[in-house]
Amino acid sequence: MTAPRKPSRVFDRNREWDGLVRFATSTSPDVRLGIVSGRRRQGKTYLLDALVEVLGGFFFTATEATEMEALERFGRAVAKYAGGGRYAFKDWDEALERLFAVVGNGLVVIDEFPYLCKATPSLPSLLQRALDPRGYARQAGSRLLLCGSAMSVMGGLLSGNAPLRGRASLELVVKPLGYRESGSFWGIDDPRLAVLVHSIVGGTPAYRREFVAGDAPDSLADFDSWVLRTVLNPQVPLFREARYLLAEETEIRDVALYHAVLGAIASGNATRGGIASAIGRNSTDMAHPLSVLEDAQLIVRETDPFNKGKPVYRIAEPLIVFYEAIMRRHWTPLERGNQEAAWRNSQATFLSQVVGPHFEGICRDWAMSAEPHVFGELPGQVAAATVKDPQRKTQIQVDVAVLAPEEPGRPRRILSLGEVKWDRTMALGHLDRLQRARDLLSVKGYDTSTTVLTCYSGAGFDKHLRTSDQALLIDLNALYSVAK
Ligand SMILES: Nc1ncnc2c1ncn2[C@@H]1O[C@H](COP(=O)(O)OP(=O)(O)O)[C@@H](O)[C@H]1O
Ligand SMILES: [Mg+2]
């Protein structure tokens, strides 16, 4: 049998598609429940819709509703699937029994599942019973996919002693597209333009479609005009999106505090203490907002491999960085239609707080996906790091530290130390700093015998560096051309 083909309208997502098809077409009695999660607008519904189109199945999208309303809508949907009639379910137990009887050994997709749980908190236990060996779903041979964006709910479904824990054989997290895929998705060939666009809209597929009505910049020369036409244009949905991303998180009540935290991170404060002092609060006050933002996957916590125990925070969604660094500071002129002036006055900030740090992140992503021959083996960890230089009483920032996986009883091997510059031609001075960092780390007991010193630049390398053969040089074409 040939595997069901992914509809051509679905860009990329081959791994996700394969996982879903394998789940949906499995004949094993143990394959019953799949969980699909991920932040809003990443394409979960789009994928599941394509899956049901190809394989058939029952698809229900929950909405914010009371239990009664939800049961009524569900009854209509099941009746329609069954080919007519009317079902008035008195409770979810009855609804599920009928559903699985009607669907038989087919596929059931429930999208926006967290809405149903909110109205009916016992629903996961009811499903657990249905999925048990003597339950309706198991008897019928149905397979059930639960999908949702509320990360607090979806994550909780399988954790701790939650009823559905241990029952899912597929846990699919639909993430933003990678930077290279985003470039192709936006139809951009010029890597410089691809970085600039990605630094604003990241890899969220919806931002290419509904949110800007398909408007992509057609050249580097069109970039400023594109920014003015789209993200800075109050008439385009993308304009308000960063605010909605926060407003949609139900855990977030004090929105002003959260914007202050994100604003502090966007302007370069990465540690808990740094964020706290930037907004004039105590470090301990930060614990709650930071963990809420982390659960919502709006920020990520990373550890510096050379200074463990001191996590740094980064904003996971480029659009939020752009909003905090550029838009929030100019909100009134922007809303009043004065985008040209706002954008002109933001050029330095865009470079230093948006593109610069974003480009470092792209270089780390590249390093993480590097083929084994690039650094001698597959990276175990890639992170930004700091190396203390006690003699010179300073610190060296390493933008891309690549480490081999940890091996007990052996010194940690450093595969590469890298420096990133978006808008400056790199020279031997940059290489000197990396050499110094390598020597200091070697004194500290790291294995640096095979460390590759890497310079990543968006603006090229001077002649001395090009001829030095001491460094691996990675330019924009290299970042975009490596095979997946
Ligand atoms: N793989 C994809 N290929 C093409 N367009 C996509 C893809 N994924 C998402 N999109 C676009 O993004 C929009 C939002 O996706 P959606 O499935 O509604 O996100 P989610 O359910 O994760 O919130 C879709 O309507 C579609 O225009
Ligand atoms: Mg959806």
Give the chain's mean pLDDT: 94
Residue 472, φ and ψ in degrees, nearest 5? -85, 125
Q: Give residues with Cβ within 8 angstroms of 79, minimum separation 6.
A: 85, 86, 87
H/E element, 414:
strand 414-421
DSSP state of 115: H
The answer to whether the CB of 119 is under 6 A from ligand 1 is no
Considering the domain architecture, whether residues 23 and 168 belong to the same structural domain is answered as yes
Distance between CA atoms of 240 and 81, rounded to whole angstroms?
A: 38
Considering the domain architecture, whether residues 43 and 145 belong to the same structural domain is answered as yes
**Contact yes or no for 43/20 (Cβ under 8 A):** no
List the domain range (segments joined by +) for residue 473.
Answer: 362-481
Domain-embedded: residue 373: yes
The neighbourhood of ligand 2, an ion, using CB within 5 A, equals 45
Interval between CA 381 and ligand 1 midpoint (Å): 30
Domain-embedded: residue 9: no
CATH number of residue 398's parent domain: 3.40.1350
**Contact yes or no for 403/389 (Cβ under 8 A):** no
Residue 444, φ and ψ in degrees, nearest 5? -75, -5
Interval between CA 286 and ligand 2 midpoint (Å): 31
**Contact yes or no for 275/297 (Cβ under 8 A):** no
The answer to whether the CB of 42 is under 6 A from ligand 1 is yes
Among 100, 95, 138, residue whose Cα is nearest residue 119:
95
Considering the domain architecture, whether residues 156 and 217 belong to the same structural domain is answered as no
pTM of the prediction? 0.95
Residue with tokens 């429940």: 33
Domain-embedded: residue 355: no
The answer to whether the CB of 149 is under 6 A from ligand 1 is yes
**Contact yes or no for 391/334 (Cβ under 8 A):** no
Using one digit for the tens of pLDDT, what is the confidence trace for 239-291?
Answer: 999 999 998 887 888 999 999 999 999 999 999 999 999 999 999 999 999 99
Considering the domain architecture, whether residues 33 and 153 belong to the same structural domain is answered as yes
Considering the domain architecture, whether residues 333 and 370 belong to the same structural domain is answered as no
Considering the domain architecture, whether residues 371 and 325 belong to the same structural domain is answered as no
Q: Which atom of ligand 1 is nearest to the CA of 48?
A: 17
Number of domains in the chain: 4
Domain-embedded: residue 116: yes
Domain-embedded: residue 226: yes
Q: Which two tokens stand for residue 123?
A: 């629903």
The neighbour count for residue 391, using CB atoms within 10 Å, is 8
Hey, what amino acid is at 477?
N
Considering the domain architecture, whether residues 194 and 159 belong to the same structural domain is answered as no
Considering the domain architecture, whether residues 93 and 160 belong to the same structural domain is answered as yes
Rg (CA), the chain: 25
Considering the domain architecture, whether residues 163 and 65 belong to the same structural domain is answered as yes
Among residues 320, 345, 370, the one where a domain terminates is: 345
CATH number of residue 91's parent domain: 3.40.50.300
Residue 330, φ and ψ in degrees, nearest 5? -120, 25
Considering the domain architecture, whether residues 190 and 91 belong to the same structural domain is answered as no
Considering the domain architecture, whether residues 461 and 400 belong to the same structural domain is answered as yes
Domain-embedded: residue 7: no
Domain-embedded: residue 191: yes
Considering the domain architecture, whether residues 168 and 192 belong to the same structural domain is answered as no
Distance between CA atoms of 303 and 125, rounded to whole angstroms?
A: 37
CATH number of residue 277's parent domain: 1.10.10.10
pLDDT of residue 356: 98
The answer to whether the CB of 37 is under 6 A from ligand 1 is no
Q: Which residues of the chain have pLDDT under 50?
A: 483-484
pLDDT of residue 483: 47
Q: Give residues with Cβ within 8 angstroms of 144, minimum separation 6.
A: 32, 33, 34, 108, 110, 127, 131, 137
Q: Which two tokens stand for residue 192?
A: 């410089």
Domain-embedded: residue 5: no
Among residues 148, 173, 198, the one where a domain terminates is: 173
Among residues 345, 380, 412, the one where a domain terminates is: 345
3-state helix, strand and coil shares in percent for the chain, rounded to the nearest 5:
50, 15, 35
